[in-house]
Amino acid sequence: MSAPTSPPSEVTVLEAALDPAWLTEHCGRPVRASRLRLKPGVSLALSLVDACRGTPVGWARFLWPRARSRARSLAAWAGAQGLAVHQRDWSGLVLQWGGLASDPALGRVVASSLGPWAAALPGLEGPGGTGPGGAVAEAPCDTPAQGDPPAPGDLPGRRGAPGAEGTLQVMRHNPLRRLVIRAGSYVVRLSARPTPWGLATLSELAALVPTPPPVELPTSPAPGLPAQVRGEGGVHVAAQALTGDTDLGRCPDPEATYRAGTLLARLHRARPAPGGALEAALGPAPDAGRALRAHAGVLDHLDRALAGRARALVGRLPRSPVGPGVLSHGDASPDQVLLERASGLVWLTDFDRLCLAGPATDLGSYLSQVGPELGQALLDGYRAGGGLPPGPAEREAALTRSLVLRAAEPLRAADPAWRQALSATLEDLEERCP
């Protein structure tokens, strides 16, 4: 009797996950990974997008032996819901995949929120086919370059379905964490875990700084909006009015960036009401050292050399300012600023990391994503909005900390060149932190 073989390493599994041809063969249609979540020795979860259009169509995950029971639990739940979840053994691991409505962590929220309209979300067929046992769908196309922003994916509409003319659009999918859809004139965010971003919190924020207006969700599915699902300490579903027609990440513009700077200054001057919903929603300020140690912990299983370089930087990072902070976005970047091109109006969005931090935190975060021209436009707008930009040294330190926080983004974004991108970031940090 031969000895049992060890399950494949995280590196081997990641290589398979980042290979569009491998995923296409196993998932039954041309797909590639767009976002991933790795828990070493436990699971690797992927968001799957159409290989041609780049639109979210489903999920896949690899489960190591210690997590096999999760596959059985999901299969039982999905079967009871009439949802197709496919599974096979692969080199001692379980490979599971399915459509968006069966996401292992989001599926119950989707079912409770969208009701019968959940069926309009994309599904994935069985292994090797357009349906169970069918042939792989031939769909020749020019695969979008890695990192190209996908266009919203139109979903098949039906009479009475949410949205204008019975159409839903999937905008973003972060596996096991979040699904963002457009329902007519609304943007609806479904979160696996309850968040503090309910109507009261969003309304209080909208009174302080321009942000997409919140929408009160009904208690049961109705044309135009899904139902609200509440959880302890927060909500799983929240809606805001569709605002703008692009963002500054997709459409860089100096004048709009100037106006974004005025909004950041306005945010930094604002004060949440004591004891209010917004104050309760404040999270911890970004901690670059903690983030770098977390990066190193994952890299221990993927590339020991990169892990060592990351860990060596921990004690060399510039420290965050000590003292009371200002109301901060926590993840300021061009793609967090919505733009209406016809009017030039801008709004801040995605406040999941709202916190109290030094003004340099938001400025350094934004400056790390743009070139000198747009960076100067942001600072000029910040001054015009009543803000006092920190000095060059403090901004540079904040920029360095921001690079650390974003260092793992190529891996999270399922970029096949993540190793090279991360190495380049570490080289930059090594020069900045002698």
Q: Is the pLDDT of residue 29 over 70?
A: yes
The structure tokens listed for 98 are: 């399915």
Q: What pLDDT sits at residue 219?
A: 60
Q: Is the pLDDT of residue 4 over 70?
A: no
pLDDT band at 415 (very low <50, low <70, confident <90, very high): very high
- Give yes or no: residues 45 and 91 share one domain: yes
Mean pLDDT taken over the chain: 87
Choosing from 241, 262, 284, the residue where a domain stops is 241
pTM of the model: 0.87
CATH number of 255's domain = 3.90.1200.10
Q: What pLDDT sits at residue 274?
A: 95
- Give yes or no: residues 170 and 289 share one domain: no
**pLDDT single digits (tens) 187-200:** 999 999 999 999 99
For 28-84, the DSSP string reads: SSSEEEEEEEEETTTEEEEEEEETTT--EEEEEEEE-GGGHHHHHHHHHHHHHHT--
pLDDT band at 73 (very low <50, low <70, confident <90, very high): very high
Q: What pLDDT sits at residue 168?
A: 77
Mean pLDDT across the stretch 107-112?
90
Mean pLDDT across the stretch 42-62?
95
**pLDDT single digits (tens) 247-284:** 999 999 999 999 999 999 999 999 999 999 999 999 99
Beta-bridged to residue 89, according to DSSP, are 94
For residue 68, tell me if it sits in a domain. Answer: yes
Report which of residues 157 and 104 the model is more confident about: 104
Mean pLDDT across the stretch 340-362?
96
- Give yes or no: residues 311 and 237 share one domain: no
- Give yes or no: residues 72 and 198 share one domain: yes
HSE-CB of 291 using CA atoms within 13 angstroms: 16
Q: Is the pLDDT of residue 170 over 50?
A: yes
For 242-273, the DSSP string reads: ---SEETTTS--HHHHHHHHHHHHHHHH--PP
Q: What pLDDT sits at residue 143?
A: 39
Choosing from 185, 214, 241, the residue where a domain stops is 241
- Give yes or no: residues 174 and 256 share one domain: no
For residue 4, tell me if it sits in a domain. Answer: no
Q: What pLDDT sits at residue 218?
A: 66
- Give yes or no: residues 82 and 172 share one domain: yes
Q: What pLDDT sits at residue 55?
A: 92
Other Cβ atoms within 10 Å of 14 Cβ, number: 23
Where do runs of H (alpha helix) occur along 270-391?
A: 277-281, 288-299, 304-313, 359-367, 372-384
**pLDDT single digits (tens) 119-169:** 778 776 544 333 332 223 333 454 333 333 333 333 233 223 333 334 678
The structure tokens listed for 13 are: 């599994």
Q: Is the pLDDT of residue 202 over 80?
A: yes
DSSP symbol at 275:
T
Residue with tokens 């494949």: 8
Q: What percentage of the chain carries pLDDT values higher than 90? A: 75
Comparing 11-15, 83-87, 302-306, which segment has the lowest mean pLDDT?
A: 83-87
For residue 223, tell me if it sits in a domain. Answer: yes
Evaluated on CA atoms 7, 9, 15, 17, the torsion sign reads positive
- Give yes or no: residues 187 and 335 share one domain: no
Q: Is the pLDDT of residue 298 over 90?
A: yes
Name the nearest CA neighbour of 314 among 327, 301, 297, 330.
297
Cβ within 8 Å of residue 415, ≥6 positions away: 146, 147, 421
Comparing 76-85, 196-205, 209-218, which segment has the lowest mean pLDDT?
A: 209-218
Distance in angstroms (rounded) separating the CA atoms of residues 109 and 230: 10
Choosing from 223, 241, 259, the residue where a domain stops is 241
Domain, as residue range, for 177: 10-133+147-241
Domain count within the chain: 2
- Give yes or no: residues 263 and 404 share one domain: yes
Other Cβ atoms within 10 Å of 199 Cβ, number: 17
For residue 23, tell me if it sits in a domain. Answer: yes
Q: What pLDDT sits at residue 184?
A: 81
Q: What pLDDT sits at residue 2?
A: 52
Compute CA distances 205 → 214, 218, 246, 350, 357, whole Å: 10, 21, 21, 11, 17
- Give yes or no: residues 191 and 331 share one domain: no
**pLDDT single digits (tens) 213-250:** 999 876 655 555 666 665 556 789 999 999 999 999 99
Distance in angstroms (rounded) separating the CA atoms of residues 376 and 385: 14
For residue 5, tell me if it sits in a domain. Answer: no
Q: What pLDDT sits at residue 281?
A: 95
- Give yes or no: residues 253 and 199 share one domain: no
Q: What pLDDT sits at residue 231?
A: 55
Q: What pLDDT sits at residue 5?
A: 74
For residue 183, tell me if it sits in a domain. Answer: yes
- Give yes or no: residues 151 and 226 share one domain: yes
Distance in angstroms (rounded) separating the CA atoms of residues 107 and 102: 5
Write out the H or E segment, with its range, that includes residue 187: strand 186-195
Q: What pLDDT sits at residue 17?
A: 97
Residue with tokens 């300021």: 332
For residue 140, tell me if it sits in a domain. Answer: no
Q: What pLDDT sits at residue 123?
A: 72
- Give yes or no: residues 222 and 266 share one domain: no
Q: What pLDDT sits at residue 8?
A: 94
Q: What percentage of the chain carries pLDDT values higher than 70? A: 85
For residue 303, tell me if it sits in a domain. Answer: yes
